[in-house]
């Protein structure tokens, strides 16, 4: 494997000479005798927002960890920018540090400069006034915004998001979508968003990928006019195409949604093509370096 940290002269380019922020070729990851990734090829241009969909256990987190540089046993050619940040479904804030300290932890530069940058990042995610709070006093959405601030303060050229809204209620999720769009417009990192939610992918991404049997089985541009509305025929068509690629029977899903009218709105508003998925935070994948 060769992981080449982005050239210092151009922090946005992971693959110098190509104009690409990410170039991953022939990525293979095997656990025991099980090949989870069998040759994944993915490219991201600087500033491009790409959603990665796939059934539970298809290897999305495994691939994201490979791009993050968190897995040394992955094979293939991976070029990513040196400046990259990851946000997981679990905000992973240190309970013994304040919100501000969590955001600036390990940040290069002097303490005062780091604190100023941290405060600015917290302001961007709407958490001014929470700097000195303890993480356990934050709501789920606030904690996830703090995790976003921690990612952004590092000015990433590549932002890796692993189901960052998966644990949030439907309303908070909608607010987080707007925030991520705003932050992306302002900072323009390349983004790889892992999600189970097809609608979320269409709402946010420039391009959607589907991971099937260890390889990218579909790579499609999201061509839906802004503002992207779920009732737009282009939205509906793309949703059908992505659900079909994921092996989801739309008719059955629709019938189930109707049957479940009394169920909580999160379930209906955020259809999950893999409702039986196990927790993403598998103990074996939690370690970070």
Among 262, 284, 287, 289, binds ligand ATP (CB under 6 A): 284
Show contacts with ligand ATP in window 17-36 (CB under 6 A). Answer: 31, 36
Residue 111 binds which entry of Mg ion, ligand ATP, none, with Cβ cut-offs from 5 to 8 Å by kind?
Answer: none
Report if residue 54 touches ligand ATP, rule: CB under 6 A: yes
Which segment (53-61, 130-138, 145-153, 222-230) binds ligand ATP by CB under 6 A? 53-61
Report if residue 123 touches ligand ATP, rule: CB under 6 A: no
Report if residue 59 touches ligand ATP, rule: CB under 6 A: yes
Report if residue 58 touches ligand ATP, rule: CB under 6 A: yes
Report if residue 61 touches ligand ATP, rule: CB under 6 A: yes
Site residues for Mg ion per CB under 5 A: 60-61, 280
Q: Give the pair of three-digit tokens for residue 188.
A: 């323009």
Among 70, 64, 151, which Cα is nearest to 104's? 151
What whole-number distance in Å separates Cα of residue 152 and Cα of residue 85? 8
| Cβ proximity of 189 and 47 under 8 Å | yes
What whole-number distance in Å separates Cα of residue 140 and Cα of residue 160? 19
Residue 172 Cα distances to 6, 39, 53, 232, 288, angstroms: 34, 36, 21, 23, 27
Could you say which DSSP state residue 137 is in?
A: G
Residue 54 binds which entry of ligand ATP, Mg ion, none, with Cβ cut-offs from 5 to 8 Å by kind?
Answer: ligand ATP
Helix, strand or coil, per DSSP, at residue 86: strand
* Contacts to ligand ATP by CB under 6 A: 31, 36, 54, 56-62, 277-278, 280, 282, 284-285
């Amino acid at each position: 494997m060769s992981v080449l940290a982005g050239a210092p002269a151009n922090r946005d380019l992971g693959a110098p000479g190509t104009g690409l922020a990410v170039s991953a070729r022939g990525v293979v990851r095997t656990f025991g005798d099980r090949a989870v990734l069998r040759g994944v090829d993915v490219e991201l241009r600087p500033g491009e927002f790409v959603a990665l969909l796939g059934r539970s256990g298809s290897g999305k987190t495994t691939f994201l960890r490979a791009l993050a540089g968190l897995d040394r046993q992955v094979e293939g050619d991976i070029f990513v920018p040196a400046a990259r940040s990851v946000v997981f479904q679990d905000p992973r804030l240190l309970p013994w540090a304040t919100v501000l300290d969590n955001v600036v932890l390990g940040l290069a530069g002097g303490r005062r400069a780091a604190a100023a940058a941290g405060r600015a990042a917290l302001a961007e995610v709407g958490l001014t006034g929470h700097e000195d709070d303890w993480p356990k006093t934050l709501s789920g959405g606030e904690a996830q915004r703090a995790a976003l601030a921690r990612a952004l303060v590092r000015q990433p050229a590549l932002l890796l998001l692993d189901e960052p809204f998966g644990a949030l209620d439907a309303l908070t999720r909608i607010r987080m979508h707007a925030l991520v769009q705003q932050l992306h417009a302002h900072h323009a990192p390349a983004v790889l968003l892992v999600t189970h939610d097809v609608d979320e992918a269409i709402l946010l991404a420039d391009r959607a990928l589907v991971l099937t049997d260890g390889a990218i089985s579909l790579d499609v541009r999201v061509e839906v006019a802004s503002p992207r509305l779920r009732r737009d025929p282009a939205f509906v068509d793309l949703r059908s195409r992505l659900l079909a690629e994921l092996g989801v029977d739309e008719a059955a899903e629709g019938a189930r949604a109707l049957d479940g009218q009394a169920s909580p709105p999160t379930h209906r508003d955020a259809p999950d093509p893999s409702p039986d998925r196990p927790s993403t935070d598998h103990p074996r994948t939690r370690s970070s370096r």
